[in-house]
Amino acid sequence: MEEIVCKFGGSSLASAEQIRKVWHIIESDPNRRYVVVSAPGKANPGETKITDLLINLASAVTNHFEGQHYIDLVAQKFGQIARDLGLEKDYEVLVRQDLNDRIEKYKNNSQALMNALKAAGEDNNAKLVADFFKKQGLPAIYVSPAEAGFYLENHKGVVRCLPDSYDNLREYLLERHELVVFPGFFGYDKEGNILTFTRGGSDVTGSLLAASVQADRYENFTDVDCVYAVKPDLVPNPHPIKEMTYDEMRELAYTGFNILHEDALEPVRRHNIPLHILNTNNPGGMGTIIVNRRTDFDGILTGISGKKGFCVLHVEKYLMNQEVGFAMDVLKIIADYNVPFEHMPSGIDSLSIIFREEVLTPDKERLIVNRILKELEVDACYVTHELAIIMAVGVAMKNAVGVLSRAVSALSAAGINIELVVQGPSEISILFGIKSTLCNYAIRELYKAFFNR
């Protein structure tokens, strides 16, 4: 018997109709033993996600605005879903009470209040889904992250899982013989305070659970059939990816593939657990399997992604390659202003450092450039803005000849000036820096060149 952890995102749980689909998926395979849920998302484009309503509620309470409107909207949404599912409990009353209790408990601590209210979406939804499964005859139980010992910590502003959570979850969950419904997105610190991951963090909970119980598979149900070779809004009928590696997904996610939370890959990758992306609205579809080692290759490139919002610091100094510690001195100056960088391609007499625009603010840029000019006696130091990064990704390129030249030819034939190019040491991706305005055009041209469509 296999053990499968399934995670369902907000769109999969946005209405009674969607939750019925989830139930069908679960009851169709007894190996699906652990179900991680998000808060209800939008049932139609005009709606607001429950998590957004809860964030607005927390801000309203903190700023002494009227928050009742948000409480009503959240409670009514849960009430409606529960009634449509034929549940006996009055979720409208229960959720209203729960939100008021959280506000009462944390009203004097705005950060704790924000976390507690954000978590209420997933927490109440897990209870509701477990109730519905029970009503349908499945032996389901809601498991609270507190009782299962799902501990997190806030490390310099980044919420992450504490190592003992793995054992705690494993021990607790393996003793449950029922179908476990577990809320995503939050856990507790050792003092008992609620902590939440960043947005979309239920993916991370699912991955951590899968790693803890050493599941055979982590199924992440969303509202797309699979991962495509480019974002589907860029080209008609994009090439579907049947299989890819975690590393390929990570590279593509870095520049814009937002299918999964970026921290969701690491726990399953480390435990070698295949991650299957599937569509709740088409569960029989092939989906995309993400694994450590691929066996299925249907082209040199796996995917192409791109993202705007980068800038480059250029440093030029004749005989730079002979100067010991030069790059370190540059990086030291940058670190003095607490600015993280993304990539650092270099030549013998020049160095380029790529940043996200939002971290290199104009004042920091001025201070850094001035110090490099003054302290390091360089020939030139300046920043160019409005750069997009395009990533051409594929593990198969490692053993293929001419991938870079094919990509460069495609871009040059399209009249796109390449401002910089980097091939990472792992040789699974090539990065191109180009003008932001050409980002989508470049992705389409590369797609044509490699996927022949």
Residues at the interface with ligand ASP (CB under 6 A):
9-10, 38-39, 49, 51, 121, 184-185, 199-203
For 417, which DSSP code?
P
Q: Are 311 and 443 in contact (CB under 8 A)?
A: no
- Shortest gap between Cβ of 202 and ligand ASP (angstroms)? 3
Cβ-based nearer residue to ligand ASP, 120 or 434? 120
- Shortest gap between Cβ of 8 and ligand ASP (angstroms)? 9
Q: Can you tell me the distance from the alpha carbon of 206 to that of 71, in angstroms, rounded to the nearest whole number?
A: 28
Tell me the C-alpha to C-alpha distance, in Å, between residue 259 and each of 203, 226, 228, 290. 10, 9, 10, 12
- Shortest gap between Cβ of 41 and ligand ASP (angstroms)? 7
- Shortest gap between Cβ of 203 and ligand ASP (angstroms)? 6
Give alpha helix (H) positions in 107-182: 110-135, 164-174
User: What separation, in Å, do the N-terminal and C-terminal C-alpha atoms of the chain show?
Assistant: 42
Cβ-based nearer residue to ligand ASP, 39 or 368? 39
Residue 11 CB contacts under 8 Å (≥ 6 apart), including other chains: 18, 41, 42, 222, 223, 280
The dihedral of CA 159, 160, 161, 162: what is its sign? negative
Cβ-based nearer residue to ligand ASP, 13 or 211? 13
41: tokens are 């998302």
- Shortest gap between Cβ of 116 and ligand ASP (angstroms)? 14
Cβ-based nearer residue to ligand ASP, 165 or 205? 205
Residue 215 CA, distance from chain mean position: 21
Cβ-based nearer residue to ligand ASP, 38 or 280? 38
Q: Can you tell me the distance from the alpha carbon of 233 to that of 439, in angstroms, rounded to the nearest whole number?
A: 13
- Shortest gap between Cβ of 43 and ligand ASP (angstroms)? 14
Give the residue among 280, 291, 313 at the shortest CA–CA distance from 242. 291
- Shortest gap between Cβ of 274 and ligand ASP (angstroms)? 21
- Shortest gap between Cβ of 312 and ligand ASP (angstroms)? 32
CB atoms within 10 A of CB 290: 29
Tell me the C-alpha to C-alpha distance, in Å, between residue 22 and each of 12, 31, 156, 194, 329. 7, 14, 37, 27, 55
CB atoms within 10 A of CB 425: 6
- Shortest gap between Cβ of 245 and ligand ASP (angstroms)? 23
Cβ-based nearer residue to ligand ASP, 230 or 260? 260
Q: In the chain, what's the furthest Cα-to-Cα distance?
A: 77
144: tokens are 């609270």
Strands 350-356 and 303-316: antiparallel
Cβ-based nearer residue to ligand ASP, 202 or 302? 202
Cβ-based nearer residue to ligand ASP, 200 or 267? 200
Cβ-based nearer residue to ligand ASP, 12 or 245? 12
- Shortest gap between Cβ of 180 and ligand ASP (angstroms)? 18
- Shortest gap between Cβ of 98 and ligand ASP (angstroms)? 16
Cβ-based nearer residue to ligand ASP, 183 or 303? 183
Q: Can you tell me the distance from the alpha carbon of 55 to that of 314, in angstroms, rounded to the nearest whole number?
A: 40
Cβ-based nearer residue to ligand ASP, 51 or 124? 51
Determine whether 401 is exposed, middle or buried from the number of CB atoms within 10 Å of its CB (0-12, 13-18, 19+): exposed
